[in-house]
Amino acid sequence: MKRRITFLVSPQENEASEDALRLAKDTFEIKGLKAIREDRFTFTFDELPQFVKDVVKQTQELHVRFDNGKNYDEKWKGPFASRLPFGVHILAFPLRESKMTNLCSFILKYADIPCSSVETSFISRGRLKQLYVPNVDVLPSILKPLGNKICGPSKKACKDKVLALSTATSLDLKYDAASQTLDVSAIWATSDGNAKDGSWDVQIKSDTSTDKVEVGVLTSGGKAPEEEISLRGKLAMVGQDDELNPAIVSFPSRHHARQSIYMADFNRPTGLHPKLEVTLALGGNSPANGCTLNAYFTIPQPFFVDPYQLEDDKLMKSYGINKIKVVEGETDLEAPAWAMSKWGTLVLAELDVEQYLSTWEKERSPMEFTLPLHLRYMSTHPEKHGETATLPWPMVFWACPSEQWSKMSTNPFDRRMLGYDEYFPEETYFYHLTPKLINSTLSRSSLEVPILNSVDSQLIEWGTMGVIVIGFLWVFGTIVTSFFGTFGKKAEEHQKKE
């Protein structure tokens, strides 16, 4: 196993002092360091537990990603600029004609996520299969049984390390059949320890004599060429180096942070046809010529979009959207939520930014755009009259063409297969806006959806049946009365004639 730990210190923070970093024979000690931390583990196929081998051996490429949806816009993110909507994202390419049955069984057993089969539960985009779960509690619930299975009942230190991943801001697992390796990358925006200011106080050791642990404490290396990131700081191989080694590196980066923020919420009142309005503090220019501003939505049930409505260019222009590039997933306009087998819908929109940029110098106002949505009918419940429906905020980013993309292999922090990047040419760079949270701990918006109470529905059923019976008896009685009344009159008239 290889392990690489990187601490990324904001340029606004003081650089790590000699007292904060201490390298001993087999220990790297860090005290009071404010930084974003990334831990990256690399396992060969032979090092994987058997139940993990059973899953990955059916895939050509597998990506499992988690984002906790929390805010860290005050941090300098450097190569960690890319984000995803909060929750769990699974993207998989099957190996040859495999149906990836082991992947579905794993999801059902350890994450308790309904998955009858990959074909029915995942959205298909060609060979790529994609699943999204808008739930930040999935990760802690899955790591506890996994820790017991991987580490065994007696290895508490091992299980603690596995469970520590549940506190990460984001977590990526990537398996590639070509290299036969599994990469696990976890990022913490702040320390998961007891320090109130989020600083790190840690001792880093190699677990075994064969493990390789590389540690770096880095900050911005100053101005870098366009599309590149420059870092400088100190590196060390724990257990091998006697002192910290100075380092300065520069590399092309696919993802960059943009000094712009955005917020989102539903227009009120929402009704059964809510509209998500996104407000952007965008500034007055794009990163480069030829860039487009885009929004990537992951829309779980019970929300859905009307693809015919999104094809109305004039309507979309009035909502601040230049065009809808992609609509994938469940788009049945009539089906209720309980009839849907897949998790929801993907939407990629190109925003109408040209007019905004042309008038920004005069108006200096924020930009807004709106996505029209709809709600499906939800299942009845014996105790509730409403259900909370949660929609993650979209990812908003500039997509820009580049001539340096072929050098991307030199980036040690490169991140691919995020869901939206596959819709753009490979020679594309992304400049990400940061969601700004005000009165929420997660980048999401929620609303209350009315549902039918099943107890009330029984009363309604019996009441309806009673009305029908009473109505039937009244009609029947009226007919009988009318019949006998007419019969009686005819008999009376007949007697008079006689």
Could you tell me the two tokens for 188? 């913490």
Alpha-helical (H) ranges within 123-242 are: 138-151, 156-164
Per-residue confidence (pLDDT) for residue 157, from 0 to 100:
78
Contact between 143 and 164 (Cβ < 8 Å): no
Q: How far apart, in whole angstroms, are the C-alpha atoms of residue 73 and residue 393?
A: 15
Residue 163 backbone dihedrals phi, psi, to 5 degrees: -65, -30
Q: How far apart, in whole angstroms, are the C-alpha atoms of residue 279 and residue 491?
A: 84
Per-residue confidence (pLDDT) for residue 15, from 0 to 100:
60
Q: How far apart, in whole angstroms, are the C-alpha atoms of residue 237 and residue 240?
A: 5
Q: How far apart, in whole angstroms, are the C-alpha atoms of residue 373 and residue 394?
A: 13
Q: How far apart, in whole angstroms, are the C-alpha atoms of residue 320 and residue 121?
A: 32
Q: What distance lies between CA 450 and its chain's CA centroid?
A: 26
- Per DSSP, the three-state class of 231 is strand
- Give the number of other Cβ atoms within 10 Å of residue 359's Cβ: 11
Per-residue confidence (pLDDT) for residue 14, from 0 to 100:
59
Peptide bond into 94 cis (omega under 30): no
Could you tell me the two tokens for 430? 């992304």
Task: Put residue 204 in one of left, alpha, beta given phi > 0 → left and psi -120 to 50 → alpha.
Answer: beta
* Burial of 1 (C-beta count, 10 Å sphere; 0-12/13-18/19+): middle
Q: Residue 401: beta bridge partners? A: 428
Give me the half-sphere count of Cα atoms (radius 13 Å) on the Cβ side of residue 416: 19
Per-residue confidence (pLDDT) for residue 159, from 0 to 100:
82
> Closest by alpha carbon to 446, among 276, 273, 263, 262?
276
- Per DSSP, the three-state class of 478 is helix
3-state secondary structure 155-166: CHHHHHHHHHHH
pTM summary value: 0.86
Where exactly are the structural domains of the chain?
2-253, 256-450, 458-498
- Per DSSP, the three-state class of 238 is coil
Could you tell me the two tokens for 330? 């469940």
Q: What end-to-end distance do the CA atoms of the chain give, in Å?
A: 116
> Closest by alpha carbon to 124, among 100, 105, 148, 143?
100
The whole-number mean pLDDT for each consecutive block of 10 residues of the chain, a chain of 498 residues, reads 90 68 87 90 91 93 92 74 92 91 91 88 92 89 82 76 88 94 92 73 80 89 84 90 90 89 89 92 86 96 94 95 94 88 94 88 88 88 76 95 74 90 91 82 85 61 76 81 64 57
Q: How far apart, in whole angstroms, are the C-alpha atoms of residue 74 and residue 66?
A: 21
Contact between 274 and 304 (Cβ < 8 Å): no
SS3 content of the chain, % helix, strand, coil (to 5): 25, 35, 35
Give 88's contacts (C-beta < 8 A, 6+ positions apart).
64, 65, 66, 111, 131, 132, 133, 135, 138, 139
